[in-house]
Every structure is written in C-alpha cells, then in structure tokens.
Structure 1
C-alpha cells in the first residue's frame, strides 16, 4: 500500500452559507500568526467505522452521497462563523515608506477546498501496522506546503477518504489562521452543525447559532497593530523548504491508571505535589528518547512543550480566541548523562519550573522583542536533533466530534511539522487516557521500543 493508492474522485470549493459584512474587510495577522508563515499547515483527522447500513452494496452509494452533501452543507454553515478559513492570504508591498504586509483577504477567494477520495483498504490496514503507514499522509491536502502558500492554495481543505469499511475525515488548516486550540474549536463546531442539520433542528435557509462563537478579532500588544510590516521585499527571503529525515512514526497509549502512576512516581520522588500528569509524561519521553538516541553523556539536551497562552496573558484572552496564542516552553539545557542519572522527578521538575516561568511578563517580553526585529520561524532552524518537542494537547476535545457514524475509532495526523524527537499528544479514546504519536529515526525508535522504563507505562493502542 502506498500514497498512490488514494484516488481523488471529486473536488469542489465550499463558501460560507452567506457573506457577512465583516468578511469583506481584510483580516490583519498578529505577530504570533505572522511568525508561522514558513511552517507547515496543521493536518489532523479522525477515522470512523462505517455504520452497518453503509456496508450493504445496495445502500453504499446512497450513504456516501448523503454524507458528502451533509458535510458540505454543515461546512458552509461553519464557515459563516469562521469566515477567514474560506479566504486567501494576500501581500501588500510598498517602497516609500517601506511596507510588506501579509493579511487574509476573504472577499477574493473560491472558498475552502473539499475533496472526496477513495482507498481500497480497510480500517485495520491503517491501524494494525506497528508504524503509522505512509499512506496516511495522503489523507490530507497541502502535502509539505508551508503557510505562505495560502496566497494561492486554500487556507482550509477537508478531505473525505472512503475506505472499504471506514471514512477518514482529514482537515488541513493554514497555521497562520490559528493554533491547535483554534483548529479543534473549528472541527468541533463543524460537528455540532452537522448534527443539527442531521437531526433537522433548523431551517436550511438560516445559519443556526453555535455553542462557542469564535473571537476573530486579532489581539495585538499595546500600542501595536493592526498593520505590522515585515522586514522583507520578497518571500524567498523567509520561506524555507524543510524535508524531514527518514523517520518512523508510532502511536503509544497511556491509560488513565498508567498516567496516575507516573504522576505519583514523579511527585513522591521529589517530595512534591505540584508536578502535573503531563509534566510527568513529558519527562518520561524526554528521558526515554534521550536514552534511545544513545547520546554522549556530555551532550546537552532540552525538552519543549507547546503552551496555550490565552489564560497566561493579563488580562487573559478568551478561550475561544481564534488565532495563534501559543509559545514554546523550553526547559534549560542539561547534559544527557545527568538527565539519565537523575530520577524521573528531576526531569519533571525541570519542566515544571519552565512552565511556571511562562507568564504575562515573559510572553509580552518575547512579543516586544519580536516587534523590534520581526522574523519568521523556519522549521529546520527550530529543529534540534537532541531535543524532544511535545506538541498538540490531550486537552483538546477530539473524540467528541461525530458525523453520524458514532465515536471515531482513531486519530491520525499528516506529515506536517514532523522531525526526529517530535511527539504529538492526543486525547485517548478512553476517558483520562492519552495517545502519543512519536517520530524518531529507525534506530532510535527500535531502542525506544525496548526501553524498560518507557514500556512500563506505555502500551499498544487497542482500537476495538
């Protein structure tokens, strides 16, 4: 099975159900959005098992056609509330005074892209292999595209891939428009509207209200915005082409009991109560991956966590702020030998200290420095071969998303923003559990699979 096995059957563009007055105005990007111009799109999706009626050959076409129609209609309703996703990026350049302004143009776009594809494979073909099969990468649009491509490519693409006994719904969203919080906010809202039209609780001619309207107005530090000029004259000056080295990607499962045991171990070793479950889990990954890499004892290594900064600002941003409000929390660099010699608690406490340190003052200090000298993040410069980076979050509501096929069987992501030592954290299917998608070079992954400390807490996900 390879990526060529996926066949695109049809595609179209979906526009908001109706055009709002606000969507006719430019949406100016904030500093945390602009820094994303050269990183990849966010690519996450859910795998559903087909209901029994869809397995009957007589009703298969009817089921798929009905599903696609309802997905498109509910998407058009969701885009009314999240209209920037139907737009395109645009750049305004001037020489005197110098200006290089990237913004979202919602009035000159064909809309969000919608693809229907098929793959002659079963759900078990996707979930049974030890490693995530490469074909999963072709369940998403914008393969290896960076966000700047949103000038000509859609800012959002939905790809519905029909398997023999399942449906994969993959979203590819431009990271300049929002972070993981924003991505899953949109995904959940789309699901909410899909269920509303399926249950026939609203008139198709109107747009129903939603439980969590997004806050689209961009937040800028005091005295700045909404127009922020970048110090460039041409995109070639800041657009990189990152190509990941050979990697294996595996899913590991941590039950709620395993996580509780890990947290208790970290806190008891340190005679503390402040170390969180996720800090304990991240410390385990940091130590285990460092050991699997077989680093020299004097090689420095760090661990990073992607932090949502909405609640850390003073005053805080709304939890429904739609945009980028994230900041990497990076531990202090420590020698690999010391990291492994000390206990789990030591690594967890290093992460705890870094988390506590990230407050309103530090966030604003970073933004002030960026505004003095704006830069665009390049993946290859951010990539540290000795680092472990914990991305995404198990706090996102992923398995509450439904599209008339019951609870999803599993979650998967595309190839975007992956490098050795990249770990994606997901809500587990069972309450309180966590699934981790770990990317490592083949030799390091083989060593991790044999790591006693790691495998004491990790297990292979059971999807059925």
Structure 2
C-alpha cells in the first residue's frame, strides 16, 4: 500500500499592513454577534487553481507569484486591519467579567504559508468523497476563534497586486442602542470555551445547475400556490426532506432546518451591507420527521420562506435583548443535533472572483472547521446561477442519500474537471 501524500511546508512569514491607519491603532471591540462565536472554529475556505501551463517554463514563476501575493496582502490589510491583529482579554475582578477585543497594533500580522503537495487537481476532485488530505490544506486545524489570542486571526492569500476597493469595509462597531462596550460574565476561558470533535463523517460535494434549481423553485411555488419562495429556500427544503428521509428518523422525531440569516438589511435603521464583523442569526424552521415527509417540497419550502420573511428588526432586537440579560457563547456540541440540518455559507459570495494571477479557480473546498452531522455549506457553482453544496453526514446516512431518488434527480453533473 502506497504512503498517502503529505503537505510539505516550505516557508512561512507574517504580513503586516503596508501602513497603519489611525483608526487601526485603537481597540476593535466585539459585538454580541462576534462574542457568541468565540468557541466555534476558524472559518476555513479555499480555492483550487490549475497551475498555468507556462509556469514550468518560468523558473521564477513561484517566486514572482509569492512576492505579488505578499505585497497585495500587505495592501489589503491596510483596509482590513482587524485581520492582522490578535485577540486580547482584560479580566475584571469585581464583578467577574472578561472584555475581549482585537488589538491591531501589537501583532506580527497575518500568517502567509508556502507549501507543496505531490497531487494533481484530479486527485483532489475525482474521488466521490472529499479526500481527507484537503483538511491539511488549511492552517488553524481545529482552532476555535478564542485561539486568536495566540494565533493569527487570518492566514490568507490576497487577490492581486493592485487593490482598488469599490466597497471598503465599514469598521465602526455596532452595539445595541449604541450602548457600552460589552463584557462577558466569565472570569476564565474554561467557563465559555469548549473543543468540539466531529464524529466520523463522509463529506461530499453536490452540484445543482441553474436549470435544476429553477425546476425546484417552480415546483415549490406551484405546490404552495405562491410565487414568493426563493431558489435557495426551495433547494434547502429539498435537502432537509431528503436528509431526514436518509436518516430513517422516527415519525415523531423533532427536526429543524436552520438557516444563517444576514441581519444587516433587517434592522431599523439598516446596518450597512459592508459592515465588517458578524451580523447573522441562525433561524430555524421546525416540524416532525413524519410531517415533513408526508407533505410536499412546497410545504417545507414555505416554512423556510416564513422563517426568513418573519426575521424582522423586532426578532433581531429580541434576541439581542435576551443576550444582554444573559450573555452566552455558542458551543458546537450543544448547538446542533443529529436530527436537523444547518444551511451555512452562501451562494451569493463571489468566491470565483478571486484569481491571484492564476486565472479562474477550478473548485472550492473547505477544511475541518465547523463540520458535524447535517452541516451543509452552500457555494456558488462555476457556471452562473448554479450552486455547489458541501454536505457532511455519517457514512450510512450519506449512502442512503445517494440512493434517494428525489435528491439525486435534482443533482447535476459538475463540470469542474473539464
């Protein structure tokens, strides 16, 4: 049996902003939405590129590419300066509390890694399941956000040599009613930080063409006698129903479909679209496994539509009011259950717009972070209007899903390798 390939780390360094804005010299305080995320994993997303055909003929190709990436990252960090910082906690004794913020001044910067691997793009994309080696493509393995006290907040490569921001990030911090800087009611990190270990999972990418998604949307709206159900609500309803069926849950088992909902435009007054930081809620539609499968796709999609439509300023501020009365930090092992589905990420993110001087990316992949039974991450597909879903399920549930006629009829052939 051949030895599986391993990542070879060639060099690493830290990149600071090319110059410091005056505002970057002040603490970057965390909102309630930021603070709740301290015990979840770092986000780990990556793009795969074909090596340019001319690269082998250019001995200095890699050196030139690395120099450009480092330079562009340094320029980008001027605008995204919190990502070059480190977390700092100030402990207050009476009453016991912790003030966590980002120090953007006293930090070596963002981490930049150059590594190599003896594999081809086909080796990564051809297997049915995402190969385990992909997890080693990412730094901060199993790190939670609180580890940003000692680890870089960002390990990244940037978009090009010349950066012109048409939508610069807005760093002005938002707090409920413009209120005070927020303290967590804990004196030690062990009171609010835990380490989640995922069970044995299969991880697979499923591709849905724009035509397939349009059919799902038309079907869901027709079955609900409406035209209000969105494409993503229709696709999420399909996933919820089919995963529930694949799990063979008892008829009376409660099941949720959770959606990550952007709060920015739902608040009054609106938060700017370019507000930098977390501003999301995890809303949930709920029913029993039996009821979900006895009803149509449109019925499930309408429940998700109502969830999104009813996520108003009042709902957002109600959550914030409750959090202020009793602050907490999400714990992954208690946040999700093996009977439900969590739809994360978004097909609206322009991930394929990042070229790094190597042309368009071939595919998107992610690391170990924030994966559990029923986690589904949605990405834009390479073809306009298509969506790729990264799905995590135990082996037996994944096998059942692969045999589910309703689900597989909607899955399209991916063109990633062509």
Tell me if TM exceeds 0.5: yes
2:155 is paired with a residue whose SS is strand
**Aligned mate of 1:451, from 399, 404, 410:** 404
Runs of 4+ in 1 over 4 A off after TM superposition: 1-4
Which residue in 2 is equivalent to 1:211?
A: 166
Q: In structure 2, do the counterparts of structure 1 residues 358 and 94 end up closer, same or farther at CA, with 3 Å as the change threshold?
A: same
Deviations 1:81-127 (A, max 9, x none): 01111100000112135441000011111110101000000000010
Query: Contact between 2:92 and 2:187, CA under 8 Å: does it hold in 1?
Result: no
Deviations 1:235-260 (A, max 9, x none): 01111110000000000000000000
Map of 1:165-176 to 2, 5 A cutoff?
Answer: none
**Aligned mate of 1:261, from 206, 215, 227:** 215
Q: Note the residue ranges of structure 2 that are not aligned, 5 or more in a row.
A: none
Which residue in 1 is equivalent to 2:341?
A: 388
Deviations 1:2-52 (A, max 9, x none): 886001110000000011211111111111000000000011011111111
Map of 1:46-445 to 2, 5 A cutoff?
Answer: 46-56=47-57, 59=58, 61-158=59-156, 190-191=158-159, 194-196=160-162, 209-225=164-180, 227-332=181-286, 334-445=287-398
User: 1:400 Cα deviation (Å)?
Assistant: 1.4
Deviations 1:372-393 (A, max 9, x none): 1110000001021101110000
1:217 is paired with a residue whose SS is coil
d(CA) in 2 for partners of 1:367 and 1:440?
32
d(CA) in 1 for partners of 2:161 and 2:195?
40
d(CA) in 1 for partners of 2:233 and 2:14?
42
Count matched residues: 416
Matched, 1:19 2:17: no
Query: Contact between 2:71 and 2:161, CA under 8 Å: does it hold in 1?
Result: no
TM-score under structure 1 length normalisation: 0.88
d(CA) in 1 for partners of 2:219 and 2:178?
47
1:271 is paired with a residue whose SS is coil
TM-score under structure 2 length normalisation: 0.97
d(CA) in 2 for partners of 1:66 and 1:84?
27
Query: Contact between 2:207 and 2:387, CA under 8 Å: does it hold in 1?
Result: yes
Q: In structure 2, do the counterparts of structure 1 residues 393 and 49 end up closer, same or farther at CA, with 3 Å as the change threshold?
A: same
2:259 is paired with a residue whose SS is strand
Query: Contact between 2:85 and 2:152, CA under 8 Å: does it hold in 1?
Result: yes
d(CA) in 2 for partners of 1:215 and 1:130?
41
d(CA) in 2 for partners of 1:75 and 1:393?
24
2:101 is paired with a residue whose SS is strand
Deviations 1:303-353 (A, max 9, x none): 011011111111111111110010011002x11111111110111111111
Query: Contact between 1:251 and 1:461, CA under 8 Å: does it hold in 2?
Result: no
Q: In structure 2, do the counterparts of structure 1 residues 18 and 244 end up closer, same or farther at CA, with 3 Å as the change threshold?
A: same
2:293 is paired with a residue whose SS is helix
Q: In structure 2, do the counterparts of structure 1 residues 341 and 77 end up closer, same or farther at CA, with 3 Å as the change threshold?
A: same
d(CA) in 2 for partners of 1:255 and 1:364?
37
Q: In structure 2, do the counterparts of structure 1 residues 269 and 73 end up closer, same or farther at CA, with 3 Å as the change threshold?
A: same
d(CA) in 1 for partners of 2:10 and 2:4?
15
2:409 is paired with a residue whose SS is helix
Query: Contact between 1:3 and 1:134, CA under 8 Å: does it hold in 2?
Result: no
Moved more, 92-101 or 286-295: 92-101
User: 1:195 Cα deviation (Å)?
Assistant: 4.8
2:351 is paired with a residue whose SS is coil
d(CA) in 1 for partners of 2:349 and 2:171?
19
2:198 is paired with a residue whose SS is coil
Deviations 1:114-149 (A, max 9, x none): 010000000000100000011110111000000000
Q: In structure 2, do the counterparts of structure 1 residues 365 and 2 end up closer, same or farther at CA, with 3 Å as the change threshold?
A: farther
